[in-house]
Amino acid sequence: MYSNILIAYDGSAHADKAMDVAMELAAKFDADLHLVQVVNHAHASSGSAKCSRHNFVFLEGVKVALTADSAWKHGWYDSPPTTGLRAIARVYAGWGFSQAFYRVEEDLKLGFSSLEDFLIAFWEGFFIHKDANNLLALLWTRQYADISDNEVFGGDFDKALAAITCKAIIMPGRTDLYFPVADNEYEVSKMPNCACSNRSMAISPRARSTRMM
């Protein structure tokens, strides 16, 4: 992640504001950190600067749901391991939306005929055409995302956060199951010019589906 950002930046641009609503916001934190000379303001939502231990464990369950499918063949599959892909969808369904989403039956309000219809049409439909090995690579990248894991900071997470000196606002979702508010509050406490503003998580598939992988 660190090297990718350095490669992508050619030194010619000046960023007034950087925004990101992606699932793994560590890349956003990393950009603000290593391009501090050109980033004046940053706005980040729904993410973290490092994969938490709890998030890591959740993703382990996602990986096993896929790799337990005998059709996966340790990555040497001849045809897509569809049973595993459908299993991933069912695991993610309990995390991709908050308890509030299901409590007020937003899935039915979106036009799905039942909860099962939602699980099949939305969740399985999202994952069934994904490449299994690509998903595993993305999961690994997310699990080991850490803005301090490089030669500059040597794993000193607090030091890495303190080096993000641009004016910033971090906006966690109060009902976000992936990235709890407390995680962002800790990160903000180590960033010298940053504020944390909690927000109600939009219970919209569009807002959340962009963060899956």
Which regions of the chain does DSSP assign to beta strands (E)?
A: 15-20, 39-45, 167-171, 194-196
pLDDT digits (tens, 9 = 90+) for 156-197: 999 999 988 888 889 888 888 888 899 999 999 999 999 988
pTM: 0.78
What architecture (CATH level 2) is domain 54-141? Orthogonal Bundle (1.10)
Domain ranges of the chain: 36-51+154-190, 54-141
Confidence of residue 30 (pLDDT cuts 50, 70, 90): low
Contact 64, 182 (CB under 8 A): no
CB atoms within 10 A of CB 160: 26
- Cβ neighbourhood burial of 83 (10 Å; 0-12, 13-18, 19+): middle
